[in-house]
Structure 1
């Protein structure tokens, strides 16, 4: 299976750093948050990624083009220009970086990568700024058991996010960021059938609005309850908290060796 990761937004709420790089490339413990997210999937056996880029796409492309040099020791013969990558961790990942436009909205970015997916293919889908110790295998089993088009991982965080109304495991309403929102929210970490993309109109479509609302209204959106760790990185304060957790050696999302 593939993981589609949204990595093209402007990151305006963390502009202190995103004016230099796209938000998924902001570092925690010296590694981009995108690297952390990919490790969450890869250590659970999902190692093919489609990264939907836009703003400062060249930063992400350069990182992966130079991935081995950046993440391992190297020897360079300046007389010949020969470069040798020394022994180190070399993940068996396949990474596709797809330019989905500078101003494209979240739904539009997902729609633009549709050609990278097979008919009726299941795939994981998440944002490039959220960390969680999600059990990916359990999430996928839940999705396959209910047979609907979409599964959203739901979490219990700050009330400033969209509120979800459940009927057992089925999401019957999705409210985008209500003023009085309470309860579980969209934590990202979706599993989708390719046909869920049919709910997206064009580049201007915001995934978290009409598509999710219509999927819920048609009974095609189910909620996987994740009660473990989850955090987004929207602000410098949130970045600092994640950094402190990483430095402490007790980062809950670090489920890989």
Structure 2
């Protein structure tokens, strides 16, 4: 399947309640990292690797995301406007070579039903890519797809090792600390998004109901229908105000490991 034909579905409809003090006026995917929204960083990461065909599942404050892209060129370039003719000339910069389908999937819809709402745009393809609108990574998409195609599975998720929320202590029998690690990496992996799903995934009956997409993944896991691609590189999510600060600090200090452009 040619890269130009591969659809990248991004779930952009959540309310991001744990990030409320940062994004009260905008949807979570538009929360900025540097000068651009985290959603832009996600899409830029895909497009740098040649995947430029996006489907955005809009929900909570979805009009803000729609307007961001409808006005993208005007807001990111110097412009000259002829008020009489309405002609607009963009004076500098390059516009992203992206094809974006914006779909309103409901403000209260869960992720499974959001995917079901865009089924008509992807059901004819052998597979599609899916990720969340709040996580960035430098995962190699070509290698991810290659891994997926080497397995007899319906879906592949990217498994990352998250950091513990707590410090880890190892001590001897006398109570003397032998080792202390602040926020060590966990042994078990978590779902980091960046998934490859065959079109058969769309036929799961639960997708038509208002359930999280993770329930479908769990069902298929029981049937040995899901694989995990181990990613050891950069991965960050924006779930809390602390994550917002961390991501922006990494960007300011040019330590953004997800930046592949």
TM-score, with structure 1 as normaliser: 0.87
CA contact (8 A) 2:115 2:207 kept: no
Structure 2: how far apart are the matches of 1:108 and 1:158? Answer: 30
Q: How far does residue 149 in structure 1 lie from its aligned partner after superposition?
A: 0.6
Mapping for residues 163-174 of structure 1, pairs under 5 Å: none
Root-mean-square deviation (CA, aligned residues, Å) is: 1.6
Q: Does 1:205 align with 2:211?
A: yes
Q: How far does residue 121 in structure 1 lie from its aligned partner after superposition?
A: 2.3
Structure 1: how far apart are the matches of 2:250 and 2:22? Answer: 20
* Counterpart in the other structure of 1:169: none
* Counterpart in the other structure of 1:165: none
- Structure with greater Cα Rg: 2
Q: Does 1:219 align with 2:224?
A: yes
* Counterpart in the other structure of 1:192: 197
Q: How far does residue 92 in structure 1 lie from its aligned partner after superposition?
A: 1.1
Tell me the alpha carbon deviations over residues 41-85 of structure 1, each in whole angstroms, 9 at most, x when there is no partner: 000000000000011111011011011112222122345543211
Q: How far does residue 93 in structure 1 lie from its aligned partner after superposition?
A: 0.6
Query: How many pairs are equivalent?
Result: 235
* Counterpart in the other structure of 1:42: 47
Tell me the alpha carbon deviations over residues 169-202 of structure 1, each in whole angstroms, 9 at most, x when there is no partner: xxxxxxxxxxxx8510000000001111223343
Name stretches of at least 5 consecutive residues in structure 1 with no aligned partner: 161-180
2:156 alignment partner, one of 151, 160, 164: 151
Q: Does 1:237 align with 2:248?
A: no
2:102 alignment partner, one of 71, 77, 97: 97
Q: Secondary structure at the match of 2:97?
A: coil
Structure 1: how far apart are the matches of 2:37 and 2:90? Answer: 21
Structure 1: how far apart are the matches of 2:8 and 2:201? Answer: 15
2:56 alignment partner, one of 27, 51, 54: 51
Name stretches of at least 5 consecutive residues in structure 2 with no aligned partner: 1-5, 166-185
* Counterpart in the other structure of 2:16: 11
Structure 1: how far apart are the matches of 2:44 and 2:207? Answer: 32
Q: Secondary structure at the match of 2:150?
A: helix
Q: Secondary structure at the match of 1:146?
A: coil
Structure 2: how far apart are the matches of 1:46 and 1:216? Answer: 27
* Counterpart in the other structure of 2:146: 141
Mapping for residues 19-98 of structure 1, pairs under 5 Å: 19-78=24-83, 80-98=85-103
* Counterpart in the other structure of 1:166: none
